[in-house]
Structure 1
Amino acid sequence: MANPHSQIATVDPVWDQIKRDATQAVADEPLIGGFVHATILHHATLDKALSYRIAAKLASNEMSVMVLREVVDKAYAAEPELVAASRADLVAVFERDPACHRLLQPILYFKGYQAIQAYRVGHYLWRNGHRDLAYFFQMRVSEIFGVDIHPGARIGMGIMIDHAHSIVIGETAVVGDNVSMLHSVTLGGTGKEEQDRHPKIGNGVLIGAGAKVLGNIKVGDCSRIAAGSVVLEEVPKCKTVAGIPAKIVGEAGCDHPSISMNQLLGPWTA
């Protein structure tokens, strides 16, 4: 007798919506049909589509799509949390970026989303002793997307990097869950020290465009860093900092700055 459970189809509302978006995109613009089919519609699951997309973007004469895809597939199979993180990141972009109107868009077009997924595979390789392969992923992500994240950095789930040009995140940096940052953000060191030397960003933090957070300092949960700021000292939770060097200028203004994406200093500014 056949196993009745084998007849039950796996329900995946996110992937089903992505496929509907893809089908509609091809109907609206037939010229991208080959691209959309190769990237989305030829795959049975989201992780297979992401594996193909990452491999296709990072491939070069030095390493083929086939080899890179095998690396990503093995990482996803060994650590399902990578796929869970990719879903959380996808929803974060869809909910926070006003330019994102379909779940399909980040997978196809948004380099911030694509770069963070490639970083996640590189971080998996780093933690599992494949350091040179992890460096290769870092190099290609930097070359292709203009996003330089050391594979040793630890980054949580629900991350949204908008525009994603000139992002730099150092080796010992830690980024919590549900963080949003804009282009030209640096989470860097302050010298040549080799130990724990990079920032620790809490959950729910919003980091504005061009902000630089330097040194082994903590940025508290649900805080805001104004665009163009240079942060050299610890930031308490639920505060807004601005300036060079950055100073506390008020409260964060809401419970979840990274979700509201409100970057105005507001009437509470000192």
Structure 2
Amino acid sequence: MMAAATTASDSLWQDIRDEARRAMAADPVFGKSLADTVLIHGDFAAALADLIGRRLGGSAAERARFTTFSLDAFRSQPGLIETASRDLQGIARRDPAIAELLPPLLHYKGYVALQAWRVSHWLWHRGQIDAALLFQNEASNALQVSIHPAASIGSAVYLDHATGIVIGANVVIGDEVTILQNVSIGRHSELPARSPRIGRGVYIGGGATILGDIGIGDFAKIGAGTLLTSDVPAGCTAVGNPARLTNCPEPASAA
């Protein structure tokens, strides 16, 4: 199984390098930055670790520290790179504005913020709590995305636009979820203070707030600006403040 994951990541890395070479040929000035950020590296793990360091580190020393932490995580747990590959491919599939892998890798801060979170999550579960929280804090400062290291997030997740996203501790997010800007997901102020659980393929519109011990079923949609504090069945759409359900599949509507 590990060999298959490595092969998939290697194939994606080759595609990225091919795109970088074509971009260099089309624009030699832009090509210098591509040489520094992509083509200088031997594999996707090294390039992604360097990218995280560049975006989170304000000084050379900070950049080196974030890069080292990230590369240690990717080398110790290669599955993180496979997941990062699926995240990148998920953006290319779901964003109609692009058709390649290089633009979201280099320019989509939501992608970098998510990969920085994956490193922080790895650190958190290794007991390196201070380092994990440092990643969260710097991603919040530099990228305006704050994801607690104790959250759980699946693969092929797309943080679209990304500014103002807050995801609290113990939130569970499934595969292929899309989250737009200014979304808050976390615990309710009332007890018991438990966090939302979000299923596969869910779409969360900009400015939505999702709070408390609730579940959102697979492929549900949460409209922009929605305040959600109760469950959403699979396939339903929740809109408004307070939220109401619409467009539910027949079994959910009947229930």
- With normalisation by structure 2, the TM-score equals 0.90
Aligned residues: 245
The CA distance in 2 between the partners of 1:38 and 1:124, in whole Å, is 27
The CA distance in 1 between the partners of 2:19 and 2:144, in whole Å, is 28
Distance 1:27-1:150 versus aligned 2 partners, 3 A rule: same
Residue identity opposite 2:132 in structure 1 = A
Match of 2:144 among 132, 146, 151: 146
Q: What's 1:223 paired with? A: 220
The CA distance in 1 between the partners of 2:246 and 2:211, in whole Å, is 19
Matched residue of 2:166: which SS?
Answer: strand
Displacement of 1:68 in angstroms is: 2.0
Displacement of 1:75 in angstroms is: 0.6
The CA distance in 1 between the partners of 2:61 and 2:195, in whole Å, is 31
Matches within 5 A, 1:47-62: 47-61=45-59
Matches within 5 A, 1:1-270: 12-61=10-59, 63-191=61-189, 197-251=194-248
The CA distance in 2 between the partners of 1:216 and 1:144, in whole Å, is 30
The CA distance in 2 between the partners of 1:140 and 1:190, in whole Å, is 25
Which structure shows the higher helix fraction?
Answer: 2
Question: Unaligned stretches of 5+ in structure 2?
Answer: 1-6
- With normalisation by structure 1, the TM-score equals 0.85
Displacement of 1:63 in angstroms is: 4.5
CA RMSD of aligned residues (A): 2.1
Matched residue of 1:15: which SS?
Answer: helix
Displacement of 1:92 in angstroms is: 0.4
Question: Unaligned stretches of 5+ in structure 1?
Answer: 1-8, 254-267
Distance 1:11-1:119 versus aligned 2 partners, 3 A rule: closer
The CA distance in 2 between the partners of 1:53 and 1:238, in whole Å, is 36
Contact 1:151/1:171 (8 A) holds in 2:
yes
Displacement of 1:169 in angstroms is: 0.2
Residue identity opposite 2:169 in structure 1 = E
Report sequence identity in percent: 37
The CA distance in 2 between the partners of 1:63 and 1:237, in whole Å, is 47
